[in-house]
Amino acid sequence: MKWVISWFDKETEEHVGDYEVDCQLDIGELRNILNLSENDPICHVYPIDNDLSVCYFEKKIPTKLNLKNYSYFLECCQ
Protein backbone atom coordinates (compact mmCIF):
# COMPACT_ATOMS: atom_id res chain seq x y z
CA MET A 1 0.00 0.00 0.00
CA LYS A 2 1.09 3.55 -0.68
CA TRP A 3 0.35 6.20 1.94
CA VAL A 4 0.11 9.92 1.22
CA ILE A 5 -0.30 12.82 3.62
CA SER A 6 -1.95 15.84 2.01
CA TRP A 7 -2.29 19.25 3.59
CA PHE A 8 -4.49 22.26 2.97
CA ASP A 9 -4.43 25.88 4.09
CA LYS A 10 -7.09 26.34 6.79
CA GLU A 11 -8.03 29.85 5.65
CA THR A 12 -8.23 29.35 1.89
CA GLU A 13 -8.69 25.54 1.81
CA GLU A 14 -6.08 25.53 -0.97
CA HIS A 15 -4.12 22.33 -1.47
CA VAL A 16 -0.58 23.06 -0.28
CA GLY A 17 1.19 19.75 -0.81
CA ASP A 18 1.50 16.01 -0.55
CA TYR A 19 4.07 13.82 1.09
CA GLU A 20 4.42 10.15 0.22
CA VAL A 21 5.24 8.22 3.38
CA ASP A 22 8.39 6.22 2.62
CA CYS A 23 8.09 3.68 5.42
CA GLN A 24 5.59 0.91 6.09
CA LEU A 25 2.79 1.85 8.47
CA ASP A 26 1.48 -0.71 10.93
CA ILE A 27 -2.27 -1.19 10.32
CA GLY A 28 -2.97 -1.94 14.00
CA GLU A 29 -1.18 1.24 15.08
CA LEU A 30 -3.06 3.25 12.47
CA ARG A 31 -6.41 1.96 13.70
CA ASN A 32 -5.46 2.95 17.24
CA ILE A 33 -4.01 6.37 16.28
CA LEU A 34 -6.98 7.25 14.06
CA ASN A 35 -9.53 5.75 16.49
CA LEU A 36 -10.88 3.25 13.95
CA SER A 37 -12.60 -0.08 14.51
CA GLU A 38 -10.81 -3.36 13.81
CA ASN A 39 -13.16 -3.87 10.85
CA ASP A 40 -12.20 -0.61 9.12
CA PRO A 41 -10.32 -1.50 5.92
CA ILE A 42 -8.35 1.77 6.11
CA CYS A 43 -8.89 2.63 2.46
CA HIS A 44 -10.35 6.11 2.77
CA VAL A 45 -9.08 9.57 3.66
CA TYR A 46 -8.56 10.19 7.36
CA PRO A 47 -7.90 13.49 9.17
CA ILE A 48 -4.69 13.89 11.14
CA ASP A 49 -6.13 16.25 13.70
CA ASN A 50 -5.09 15.37 17.24
CA ASP A 51 -1.88 15.34 19.26
CA LEU A 52 -1.54 11.55 19.15
CA SER A 53 -1.78 11.34 15.35
CA VAL A 54 0.48 14.38 14.86
CA CYS A 55 3.16 12.87 17.12
CA TYR A 56 2.94 9.53 15.29
CA PHE A 57 3.24 10.99 11.79
CA GLU A 58 5.97 13.47 12.69
CA LYS A 59 8.11 10.41 13.45
CA LYS A 60 7.36 9.02 9.97
CA ILE A 61 8.00 12.08 7.80
CA PRO A 62 10.81 14.68 7.80
CA THR A 63 8.66 17.69 8.67
CA LYS A 64 6.65 19.15 11.54
CA LEU A 65 2.88 19.34 11.22
CA ASN A 66 1.31 22.72 11.92
CA LEU A 67 -2.35 22.20 12.91
CA LYS A 68 -2.79 25.92 13.54
CA ASN A 69 -2.43 26.81 9.86
CA TYR A 70 -3.04 23.59 7.96
CA SER A 71 -5.42 20.62 7.80
CA TYR A 72 -3.74 17.25 7.20
CA PHE A 73 -5.17 14.04 5.81
CA LEU A 74 -3.87 10.50 5.40
CA GLU A 75 -4.88 8.64 2.27
CA CYS A 76 -4.23 5.07 1.27
CA CYS A 77 -3.53 4.62 -2.44
CA GLN A 78 -3.43 1.00 -3.58
Q: The domain spanning residue 10 has which CATH number?
A: 3.10.50.20
In angstroms, the Cα distances linking 76 to 10, 11, 25, 41, 46 are 22, 25, 11, 10, 9
Q: How confident is the model at residue 63 (pLDDT cuts 50, 70, 90)?
A: confident
pLDDT number for residue 77: 81
Look up the domain containing 38 and give its range: 2-77
- What residues form DSSP beta bridges with 27? none
pLDDT number for residue 41: 85
pLDDT number for residue 70: 97
Q: Structurally, how many domains does the chain consist of? A: 1
2: number of Cβ within 10 Å: 9
